[in-house]
């Protein structure tokens, strides 16, 4: 299965642009993903279209881990 994933950062922060990529593993809430030089936590995964053959289009919302550490300390 190939997943075309649209990654969007919570709050639409201009510091972290959104992006799209193809990948072979389905994103899972709570997992971490590196986009550019930043590590993000996946907070939401939504199917945008029904799966077709070996393809699925997903919308994934993420939040940067570094901001959580800065605000919690």
Question: How confident is the model at residue 62, as a pLDDT?
Answer: 95
pTM here? 0.82
Q: Where are the domains of the chain?
A: 2-72
Angstrom distances, CA of residue 39 to CA of 16, 32, 34, 66: 11, 7, 4, 8
> Minimal CA–CA distance to 63: which of 5, 4, 8, 6?
8
Task: Using pLDDT thresholds of 50, 70 and 90, give the confidence band for residue 72.
Answer: very low
The per-residue pLDDT for range 15-71, each reduced to its tens digit, is 887 889 999 999 999 999 998 888 999 999 999 999 999 999 999 999 998 765 544
Instruction: For residues 62 and 59, give the distance between their C-alpha atoms in angstroms, rounded to a whole number.
Output: 10
Residue whose entry in the numeric block shows the structure tokens 């919690």: 72
> How many of the other CB atoms lie within 10 Å of CB of 5?
22
């Amino acid at each position: 299965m190939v997943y075309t994933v649209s990654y969007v950062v919570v709050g639409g922060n201009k510091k972290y642009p959104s992006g799209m990529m193809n990948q072979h593993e389905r994103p899972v809430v709570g997992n971490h993903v590196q986009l550019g030089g930043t590590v993000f936590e996946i907070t939401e995964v939504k199917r945008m279209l029904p799966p077709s053959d070996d393809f699925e289009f997903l919308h994934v919302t993420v939040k940067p881990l570094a901001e959580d550490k800065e605000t919690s300390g």
